[in-house]
Structure 1
Amino acid sequence: MVILELVEQVLSMAEGDTITLPLDSADERNLAAAWCARTGNTLVAADDSSVTVRRGRPADPVAALPADRRPGARLWLYTNFDCNLACDYCCARSSPQADRRALGVDRVREIAEAAPAAGVTEILLTGGEPFILPDLDQIVANCTAALPTTLLTNGMLFRGHRLQMLQAMPRDRLTLQISLDSATPDLHDTHRGKGSWAKAVAGIRTALGEGFTVRVAATLTTDDLKEERELRSFLDSLGIPHQHQVVRPLAHQGAADDGLELTVETLIPEVTITADGVYWHPVGADNDEQLVTRDIFPLDAVIDLVREQFRAHQATADAAARTFPCA
C-alpha cells in the first residue's frame, strides 16, 4: 500500500515538495527507500512509523562546497587538551588543570597514513597546547610526511628543548598558526592571562625568523571594527600577509559565556578527531552534541558518515523551509 500511496501522492507534487506518510512496519520503510532510489526521488527521513519523501533529488550540498571546504578535505586532530593557558573563552576548556587526553604518536601516524586515500588534503593539529607534548616533533613529522600540515599554537613556549623541536620541524610542508587577539596587550591579556600578548608576539617573530610560514588567528570578543583594523595593521607590521590573517568571532562553546551559537545544523562540518572520538567541527570538540562517532577507523568511512549526516541536515532544513511557503 505504501508504494501505491507514494506513486499517487509524489507524482502529483511539484519538484522539491515533500510529503510524510504513515507506515505500518519496517518492511514498508524499506520498500519506500527502494522506491525512492529507483524513481529518482529523495528519502528525507524514515522510521518504522512514517516516511518523508521529497520529489526529485536536490543538488548534493557536499559537491556544492569549494573542494577545500568539503567535509574531510581538512582533517583536524586534537593532539591533547592540556594547556599552559586557561583562556576564559576556550572552546575546548583547555587549561593547566585539564586532562591531557592525547591522541598519541602511534594513533596520529595511523590517521596520517590513512588520510590521503580518504581524500584528506590537509591536516591541522590543535589542542590544548601541542608544544606541551614531548613527542610533538614526531607527530609533526608523521603528518607532514603524509600531507601539508598546519600546527596551531599560542607561540609562548619557543625556548629550550621546545625551541629545538621547532627548529627541527620541516618548513616546506608546515604552517604555524599562532593566536593573537589584539594589537596591544590589554584585550589579549584580559582573556588569556597577563604577559601572554608579549610572549605570543615574541613567538611570532621567532617562527618568522626560523623561516616558517606563519598564520595568525584572532578571536574577537567585541564588535568594535576599530579593534580589528588596528590588529590587522599590527599584523601587517609584523610581516603577516592578509591571506594569513584569520579573524573570527567568539563562539559560545566550551568555557565561553557568550558568543555565536554554533550547532551541527548551522556549521559546515570539518572532521575533527580527538582521543574521545570524531566530532563535527573543531569548535565543538568539547560538546557531546557534536560527537559523531567514537570510532576513528576506518577513516574513509568516518568521513563518509559526516558527509551523509551533513546531507541529511541540509535536506531536513530544506524540507522545513518548504513547510512554510510565503506565497
Structure 2
Amino acid sequence: MVNHALVLDLVERVGAVATGATFTVGWGADDPEVASETVAAWCERTGNQLVEVGDSFAVLRRGRAADPLLDLDPDQLPGTRLWMYTNFDCNLACDYCCVRSSPQTERRALGLDRVRQLAAEAVQAGVSELILTGGEPFLLPDLDEVVAACTSQLPTTLLTNGMLFTGHRLERLRRMDRQRLTLQISVDSATPEIHDSHRGKRSWKRAVDGIRIAHEEGFRVKVAATLPAEQLHEVEPFHVFLDTLGVAREDQVIRALAHRGVSETGIELTMESLIPEVTITADGVYWHPIAADHEDQLVSRELFPLKNAIDEVRARFVEHRQRANAAAAWFPCA
C-alpha cells in the first residue's frame, strides 16, 4: 500500500530545500507502517536519503550525501594509523606542549599489557602503522618491551626528544627492531637559540646528538618541527640543515603550532576541523593526538574492543562532514 497524501507532501517539502539539506515530514497515528514504507520507497525511487524514521515522522535529506571517507587519501582514513600515548611525564617542559607534559606531570602510563592488546587488535581492525608518543617515552623502564609489543605486529614510529640515549636507556634503544621501528625526533630550528627558547637550555645540542646516535645505531630517523603558522613558508634553511644531518626530505615533518595544552597562541583545532587520527591514552580514546589531554576531543573512555573505537571515530567524522556539507549547500537567489 502507498500513502498518496504523504507522497504529495514529500514532493512539496523536498522542492523547498537545497540539495544536501534535511527536512522532516510527519503523519498521523493511522498506519505508521504504511507511512514509513511509503517514505522508504519514495527515497529509493527519487534518489533522496532517509536519515531517520520514527513512529510518526521521518527525517530526509535532499539527494544522497557523499561518503566523506571516499574523499580521503588512503593514509588519511581514520584508523589507518593508531596513536598511543605511552605516558605523559617528560624530562622537558616545552612552552607549547599540546598535552601539558613536564617533569611534574603525572605519568598516566598506558602500560605494557594494554599496549600489547591494542597492537594485536590493531591488526584485526585494519591499522597499518602504530605511533608511540608521550610525554617522553624513554622515561619508561620497560620501553623496549612496549616497542617490541608493537613492532611484532606492525611497523611502528616512536616520537622522542632524542635527549636520553645514554646508559641503560641506550641499551633499551639497542634492543629495538631497526627494521620495523622509525624514530621521530623533535628539533624546531637550525638555530640552537630558537629551539632552546621553547624547549630549554642545551636541548638543541642534545637532540641533534640524539639524531646522530640514532643514525649510528642503524635506525631510520624522522625529524619533526613545530613552528608558528606564519613561519611555515620560511623553512628552506631548516630543510638544508636537516639534509646535513642525513635526514631524508620525506622524513622532515613541519607542523603548525596549535593553540592547545600550555600554548597561548597557535591555530585553533576542533573535532569539526580536524581529520581524526585515532589516539589512545590511559584515560580513553581521543579524536587526535594534538588534543589527547582535552575533554572536548574525548571520544570514549572504553579502549576495547579497539575496532569499536575506530568505528565510532569514523561515524562521527562522517556526521561532522555531512553536517558541514549541508550547511554549505548552495542557496540560489537569482
Q: TM-score, normalised by structure 1?
A: 0.90
The 1:222/1:323 distance shift into structure 2, 3 A limit, reads: closer
Instruction: Measure how far apart 1:7 and its partner are.
Output: 3.0
- Determine the C-alpha separation between the residues in 2 that align with 1:12 and 1:105: 58
Q: How does 1:59-74 map to 2 (within 5 A)?
A: 59-74=66-81
Quickly say closer, same or farther: Cα 1:96–1:36, change in 2 above 3 A: farther
Q: Decide which structure has the larger Cα Rg and report it.
A: 2
Matched, 1:310 2:317: yes
Match of 1:17 among 16, 20, 24: 20
Q: Does 2:47 align with 1:35?
A: no
Query: 2:42, 2:146 → 1: CA distance?
Result: 44
Asked if the contact 1:276–1:294 (Cα under 8 Å) also holds between the matched residues in 2, the reply is yes
- Counterpart-to-counterpart distance in 2, 1:46 and 1:183: 59
Listed one character per residue, the Cα deviations across residues 108-140 of structure 1 (whole Å, up to 9, x for unaligned) are 000000001101000000000000000100010
Task: State how 1:205-220 maps to structure 2 within 5 Å.
Answer: 205-220=212-227
Shift of 1:230: 1.7
1:134-153 aligned within 5 A: 134-153=141-160
In 2, the alpha carbon distance for the partners of 1:288 and 1:325 equals 39
Q: Work out whether 1:189 is the aligned partner of 2:196.
A: yes
Contact 1:20–1:50 under 8 Å retained in 2: no
Match of 1:93 in 2: 100
Shift of 1:54: 1.6
Aligned residues between the structures: 325
- Name structure 1 gaps, 5 residues minimum: none
* SS of match in other structure, 2:69: coil
- Rounded Cα–Cα distance in structure 2 between residues aligned with 1:252 and 1:194: 24
Residue by residue over 1:251-281, the C-alpha shift from the partner in whole angstroms, topping out at 9 and shown as x without a partner, is 1111110101000000000000001100000
Q: Residues 296 and 54 of structure 1: is their aligned pair in 2 closer, same or farther, counting only changes over 3 Å?
A: same
Query: Structure 1 residue 17: deviation in Å?
Result: 3.4
Partner of 2:288: 281
Amino acid at match of 1:79: T
Q: Contact 1:182–1:227 (CA<8 Å) still a contact in 2?
A: no
The 3 A distance-change label for structure 1 pair 233 and 41 is same
Contact map agreement 2:9 2:25 (CA 8 A) in 1: no
Q: Could you say which residue in structure 2 is the equivalent of 1:241? A: 248
How far apart in 2 are the matches of 1:270 and 1:141? 22
Q: Which amino acid aligns with 2:40?
A: W
Q: Distance in 2 between matches of 1:44 and 1:290?
A: 25
User: How far apart are residue 47 of structure 1 and its match?
Assistant: 9.4
Q: RMSD of the alignment, in Å?
A: 2.9
Alignment-mate amino acid for residue 272 of structure 2: E
Percentage identity across paired residues of the two chains? 56
Q: Tell me, yes or no, if the aligned pair for 1:271 and 1:278 is still in contact at 8 Å.
A: yes
Contact kept? 2:225, 2:254, Cα under 8 Å: yes
